[in-house]
Chains A and B, each alone.
Chain A
Amino acid sequence: MSDFDVYQSDMPRRGLTPADVELLFSTHVPVREDLASFAVILECLHRTARFDPSDEVIADFSGVAAEIARAGREAPHVAAKPTAPRRDGLLMRRFAGALGAALFLTGMTGVAMADDAAPGDVLYGLDRAMESIGVGDSGPSERIAEAKALFHRGQIIAAIAHAAEAVEAASELEGREAQGSLLESSMATDALRRAAERVDVDPVNSDDPAVKNAVAGILDEIANMLEADDVEPPEFGARISEMARDIGRGGNNPSETTDTSPSTPDERGPAAQPSQPSGPPDNGLDHPSGASGGPPADVPGRGRP
């Protein structure tokens, strides 16, 4: 006797017959008048939970998926049978590597665009999704690049919070925990998050040139240290903590803050120019979001229609 047969044996005590159930699921048209209201409720449940994507999201996704599928022809196939359990681990990492190489060789565009997306972009959700399946960068360098993108849009608080993610990601790099960097990194992450909270508490802080300058300096510092792979303890965490400590406390002095940056403008590259510490007053330092001369970008939602 099946589970359902057992269940059905005491049906008379229940309100719904198997036929009712089938009709409720198949057409939502009840066979009994007293079920009409319930059928409408099920329809409401169906309608409420569904969330159809916008045309923009569909277009973005289609491009990226097509490239991944195209590249997948060149990469080894991994468990895709309908009922086969998915295997993570080494096999998936190998596949991701092969897929990444194939994507690179096919000159992907959508994938690269998504990979460059920052929080707030429509493509950012795809970017994180790609990271989760092993395509695209997901390390601290990408996080700090995203933090810089946020900074240049004038989203100072989000930029600081993202910098904390970058530091956290750096501490998770293979072997770093064993070297005792976790505590220092954790202190740096905390210091950054507290700095973000301080800036958040007082909106004036977001427009304070000294705060912007200090944040620019810290982003550059993290980027430079990551680039140089100079994130060993205790210097990395301690240095970031020290720089983050004064952000949003008032009385930030741009020259003091920026004097601590060891990098030269040439080392920073074009992306870092607005935060260049030794530049003249009108070099963009006071208006990091206005590199293009305007207010912070009006950023669309994260993939929601």
Chain B
Amino acid sequence: MEPQEEQFNSTLDAARAGAAWAWEQIYRDFAGPVNGYLRSRGAREPEDLTNEVFLRVARGVHGFSGDAGSFRSWIFVIAHRRLIDERRYHGRRPDFTELDRDQASPDSVGDVESEAVEGLVTAEIAEAFNALTDGQRDVLALRIIAGLSLEETAEVVGKRTGAVKALQHRALEALKRALDEESVTL
């Protein structure tokens, strides 16, 4: 067994037994990507929804079986479904919840002028992202923001890997085209 898998299994066992350190590790590893995914897909309360996702993970962890990749997919399957439920409930079009411009460029802290310029650029990126189709945004958010693999992304959105491959390619093309038109560079 690979050392990483071994480490994952021991963390998972500890999480099942209710060890706080294991849940801390799981939350540290995944809360950022889950939150980022939910925000980028227009969740109304991304922080609350992130907590809900992980509480569902805590509740269901005894029934989970699989490796680290499956675990990651499972977490995002829950996040994806909760997002769909939320959209259905509120009946709204998903887009970036908000942009945190302080996070857009950590190196620029203190430089008001460059912060303003980069904030503008980031807004244009978000605009270009929001102009993609729902399916394209799902795939890009899962791949770029959540950092999922092609296979994991396919599992989360419930599509074949070939379909996801085509979606991601079209999405990148569309995003690049939109940004080229706007002449956005960093």
A33 at the interface (CB under 8 A from B): no
Shortest beta-carbon distance from B32 to chain A in Å? 4
B186 contacts which chain A residues (CB < 8 A)? 37, 40-41, 44
Q: How many angstroms from the CA of A302 to the CA of B64 in the assembled complex?
A: 30
Q: How many angstroms from the CA of A135 to the CA of B144 in the assembled complex?
A: 33
A129 contacts which chain B residues (CB < 8 A)? 48-49, 51-52, 55
Shortest beta-carbon distance from B123 to chain A in Å? 10
Q: A66-B23, A125-B51, A132-B52 are in contact. Are A45 and B155 (CB under 8 A)?
A: no
Check if A49 sits within 8 Å of B63, measured CB to CB.
no
B100 at the interface (CB under 8 A from A): yes
Check if B81 sits within 8 Å of A86, measured CB to CB.
yes
Shortest beta-carbon distance from B74 to chain A in Å? 4
B26 contacts which chain A residues (CB < 8 A)? 65
Q: How many angstroms from the CA of A61 to the CA of B105 in the assembled complex?
A: 28
B143 at the interface (CB under 8 A from A): yes
Residue of A nearest to B121 (CB): A44
Q: A38-B179, A133-B56 are in contact. Are A82 and B166 (CB under 8 A)?
A: no
Contact residue among A42, A73, A82 (Cβ-Cβ distance under 8 Å from B77): A82
Check if B23 sits within 8 Å of A61, measured CB to CB.
yes
- What is the number of contacts between chain A and chain B, taking CB atoms within 8 Å? 226
Q: A3-B163, A25-B168, A51-B100 are in contact. Are A62 and B39 (CB under 8 A)?
A: no
- Interface locus among A14-22, A142-150, A187-195: A14-22
By DSSP majority rule, is chain A's interface helix, strand, loop, or mixed?
helix
Contacts of B147-186 to chain A: CB distance below 8 A: 147, 150, 155, 160, 162-163, 165-166, 168-170, 172-173, 176-177, 179, 184-186
Shortest beta-carbon distance from A64 to chain B in Å? 7
Shortest beta-carbon distance from A42 to chain B in Å? 6
Check if B48 sits within 8 Å of A16, measured CB to CB.
no
Interface 0/1 of A232-245, CB less than 8 Å to B: 00000000000000
Interface 0/1 of B129-147, CB less than 8 Å to A: 1000000000011011101
Contact residue among A48, A77, A303 (Cβ-Cβ distance under 8 Å from B51): A303
Interface centre among B64, B122, B165, by most chain A C-beta atoms within 10 angstroms, is B165
A279 at the interface (CB under 8 A from B): no
Check if B65 sits within 8 Å of A48, measured CB to CB.
no
Q: A42-B144, A69-B15, A69-B23 are in contact. Are A61 and B51 (CB under 8 A)?
A: yes
B125 contacts which chain A residues (CB < 8 A)? 41, 44-45, 48
Check if A47 sits within 8 Å of B104, measured CB to CB.
yes
Contacts of B84-125 to chain A: CB distance below 8 A: 96, 99-101, 103-106, 121-122, 125
Check if B48 sits within 8 Å of A128, measured CB to CB.
yes
Q: How many angstroms from the CA of A43 to the CA of B90 in the assembled complex?
A: 31
Check if A49 sits within 8 Å of B141, measured CB to CB.
yes
Check if B36 sits within 8 Å of A125, measured CB to CB.
no
Check if B155 sits within 8 Å of A78, measured CB to CB.
no
Check if A65 sits within 8 Å of B27, measured CB to CB.
yes
A16 contacts which chain B residues (CB < 8 A)? 169, 172-173, 176
Residue of A nearest to B128 (CB): A41
Interface 0/1 of A1-22, CB less than 8 Å to B: 0111111000000111010010
Interface centre among B51, B141, B173, by most chain A C-beta atoms within 10 angstroms, is B51
Q: How many angstroms from the CA of A26 to the CA of B51 in the assembled complex?
A: 28
B83 at the interface (CB under 8 A from A): no
Contacts A47-B104, A52-B32, A79-B60 aside, 12 further interface pairs with beta carbons under 8 A come to: A4-B165, A4-B169, A40-B186, A51-B32, A53-B47, A61-B51, A63-B20, A69-B18, A80-B74, A82-B73, A83-B155, A304-B47
Instruction: Enumerate 11 A-B pairs (CB-CB under 8 Å) in ascending A order.
Output: A44-B125, A46-B144, A49-B37, A53-B32, A62-B21, A64-B58, A81-B65, A82-B77, A82-B155, A126-B51, A302-B47
> Which residues in A have some Cβ–Cβ distance to B below 8 Å?
2-7, 14-16, 18, 21, 24-25, 37-38, 40-42, 44-53, 58-59, 61-73, 77-83, 86, 95, 99, 125-126, 128-130, 132-133, 135, 302-304
